[in-house]
Amino acid sequence: MEQQLHTMLPGLITTIIILAAWEYVWKLIALWKAGRNNHLAWFICIAVINTIGILPIIYILLQRKNKNTPSEKPV
């Protein structure tokens, strides 16, 4: 049992490092966009909740869809 743990440990550490880097990159991008758009609730949720990049990706995709919809120009 202990022998198996020693053989799996390098792979686990590598996986954790890759997932942490993935989360960090997406979180920074989403936090930047939420801050620039004054979305305080999204900013707090993204900053507090660790979702391996899922929540930041959802926010970025939702904001991209909102930007593509035509907005009304003031008269």
34 assigned to some structural domain: yes
pLDDT at residue number 41: 94
43 assigned to some structural domain: yes
The answer to whether the predicted template modeling score (pTM) of the entire model surpasses 0.85 is: no
How many folded domains does the chain comprise? Answer: 1
pLDDT at residue number 44: 93
Which domain range does residue 34 map to? 20-67
61 assigned to some structural domain: yes
Amino acid at 16: I
Mind listing the pLDDT tens digit for each residue in 17-73? 998 899 899 999 999 999 999 999 999 999 998 888 888 999 999 988 776 655 555
Amino acid at 60: I
11 assigned to some structural domain: no
Tokens 């990706």: give the residue: 57
58 assigned to some structural domain: yes
50 assigned to some structural domain: yes
